[in-house]
Amino acid sequence: MIGLALTNHGAWGIALVIGVVAALAVAALLLVLIRTTTRIRNSTGRLLEVAGQVAGNTANIPQLQATAPVLGKIVEEAVVQDAYMNALTDGYPPATAATAAKDGEA
């Protein structure tokens, strides 16, 4: 048992080695943390740039929602105009390829 006994200097030596290893581990972890936070900062910078572009692309969506009622009115007017055109062409024979070629020669 006497061979396993530590002197005061031996205990301090072991404590110093453990402290240096712990300090190196903490330093390594701090370096990893700094690198990770730098990557996050760079990523958020790029994300904010893209977010501005996305906001610009989606700024007109509320205006597009207002087009649905207008499109309904346009369709209603197109139906009315179609009826007028049908009324104007009633009684005329349908155009055929021969009639179109004959009209082109005249």
Amino acid 20: pLDDT: 98
Low-confidence ranges of the chain (pLDDT < 50): 1, 106
pLDDT in tens, 13-32: 999 999 999 999 999 999 99
- For the chain, the domains span 1-59, 62-91
- The C-alpha atoms of residue 93 and residue 13 are separated, in whole angstroms, by 113
- The C-alpha atoms of residue 69 and residue 78 are separated, in whole angstroms, by 14
Q: For the whole model, what pTM was predicted?
A: 0.47
Helix, strand, coil percent values for the chain (each to nearest 5): 85, 0, 15
CB half-sphere exposure, 81, CA atoms < 13 A: 6
Retrieve residue 74's tokens: 């346009």
